[in-house]
Chain A
């Protein structure tokens, strides 16, 4: 079964610090997709990144970067020089089931990491 673990429940940093949010996943599928979403206090989940299981290239987008390692089943997210506006709950999610064809469109979410950035 698909499973996502975000071991860090809460993280607090001071502005301009770098912070890494961990995500470990479990799946028996060979084809799957990983996502990161951000949930600000308004409640809406905002898409940050998607990565498929065949693309292990790390990605950088401004202050955000992602490290995907299939060998350790991890998809970690780093914010460089954090800002107060980065304060939110961050969710890692996994889709898949292509090998079994039974979970189209469904995402399995981790429990989320509450990031607080203090000025």
Chain B
């Protein structure tokens, strides 16, 4: 059974650019959530999608957005990149959005903003 797949694994961008990260959940999982991990702030919740609808959103500026497709795959986009956006972006999937569910995480996309 394939795990959560995130692409790309590594990328380098410059300030002002935008970036799109992709996440393919485990087959059958319909909920996808995103987390940002930085040394300064730790692991912070970005947003969660279920059935193509954003169900929950963390405290991030509007430059951070996402979407989910009918096959449950999800993308997140960061526009007008800032140096502080350098981070490991982790995607996780579960069957439903319930907080009781175990989240299965991908290996992450490591973004470096220069």
In whole Å, how far is A115's beta carbon from the nearest beta carbon of chain B? Answer: 16
Q: What are 17 A-B pairs at a CB distance below 8 A?
A: A43-B108, A44-B106, A45-B103, A47-B104, A91-B43, A97-B99, A104-B56, A105-B50, A105-B94, A105-B97, A105-B98, A105-B101, A107-B103, A108-B45, A109-B35, A109-B42, A110-B42
With a CB–CB cut-off of 8 A, which chain B residues contact A98? Answer: 99
Give the dominant DSSP class at B's interface: strand
Our count of residue pairs bridging A and B at CB distance below 8 angstroms stands at 72
State the Cβ distance, A67 to closest chain B Cβ, in Å: 20
> In the complex, what distance in Å separates the CA atom of A105 from the CA atom of B97?
4
Nearest chain-B residue to A52 (Cβ)? B100
Asked whether A63 is an interface residue with its Cβ less than 8 Å from the other chain, the reply is no
**Measured between C-beta atoms, what is the minimum distance from A1 to chain B in Å?**
11
Q: How far is the CA of A36 from the CA of B27 in the complex (A)?
A: 24
Is B48 at the interface (CB under 8 A from chain A)? yes
Chain B contacts of A107 at CB under 8 A?
Answer: 35, 43, 45, 99, 103
| Size band of the interface chain B makes with A | 20 to 34
Q: Which of A45, A110, A111 interacts with B90 by CB under 8 Å?
A: A45
Q: Is the interface of A mostly helix, strand, loop or mixed?
A: loop
A52–B99 alpha-carbon span in the complex (Å): 10
Query: Is A95 a contact of B100 with CB atoms below 8 Å?
Result: yes
Binary per-residue interface labels of chain B (71-114) against chain A in the complex, 1 for a CB within 8 Å, 0 otherwise: 00000000000000000101010101111111111111010000
